[in-house]
Amino acid sequence: MAAAATRATALCLIAAALLMLITAAAAASDTYTNHTVGGDAGWFFDSTTNKTSADYNAWSAKQTFNLGDYLIFNTNTNQSVIQTYNKTTFASCSIDDSLDTDTFVYDSGSDGLGNPTVVSVPLTIASTQYYFSAAGDGIHCRHGMAFTIKVATGLGLPPNLNQPPPPPYAPPPGPADEGPLPPVPVVTTRPNGGVRTGGGSSFLWLCLVVIVLL
């Protein structure tokens, strides 16, 4: 009896530890992340040496980017933040020929006045996307102010970043055709969100009962 109880207790403890690990892993992927570009070094270019404050490709290679995450550029207004989905624009280090549909200039670019600023860029499209500073006529970009990221779906967009198009216009039903209303489309914003491991405490209770019974 005592040996069986000890064995059951040991098994329960092992199972509980595993359960906690699984719950922790689920919790880790159940949040959105703000990625500070370049880490503590931020997004800076020194024009007197042509050097960046961080190796941005090395930095981005260590991150996992998902929809709903943000890139946070700690910088000043000597650098610009350009987001593009167009590889040609990225490779050119310039926005001179870029299209408004695939390239976005944050905070109107750089003014050369060096005022501290923080640029927050939400990741709203799951695809490869490119970032660079177009300041200095492309000198920044050609000397390393440029990186590529790949954004995965993750939890999907949170409601505040997800703006579904308005429902299509439907004429009000006339007297001759008063059928049932069409079903309202359901917008799912977080396909794998809301999956929580809630069985932890009930499992431990079951363990306790088993041990007491033995």
Ligand X SMILES: *[C@@H]1O[C@H](CO)[C@@H](O)[C@H](O)[C@H]1NC(C)=O
Residues lying near ligand X in the complex (CB under 6 A) are found at 34, 47-50, 70, 76, 78, 86, 88-89, 97-99, 102, 112, 114, 120, 139, 142
Nearer residue to ligand X within complex by CB, 9 or 86: 86
Mapped onto helix, strand or coil, the DSSP state of residue 11 is helix
Report H helices in the chain.
Answer: 2-28, 56-61, 87-92, 139-142, 200-213
Q: Distance (Å, rounded) from C-alpha 214 to C-alpha 210?
A: 6
Minimum gap (Å) between residue 163 Cβ and ligand X:
16
Minimum gap (Å) between residue 30 Cβ and ligand X:
13
Minimum gap (Å) between residue 140 Cβ and ligand X:
9
User: Encoding tokens for residue 96?
Assistant: 């001179």
Minimum gap (Å) between residue 213 Cβ and ligand X:
46
Report H helices in 51-192.
Answer: 56-61, 87-92, 139-142
Tokens 């033995």 -> residue: 214
Nearer residue to ligand X within complex by CB, 25 or 91: 91
Distances (CA, A) of 57 to 26, 43, 191: 28, 12, 30
Nearer residue to ligand X within complex by CB, 122 or 200: 122
Nearer residue to ligand X within complex by CB, 8 or 126: 126
Please give the residue whose beta carbon sits closest to ligand X in the complex.
114
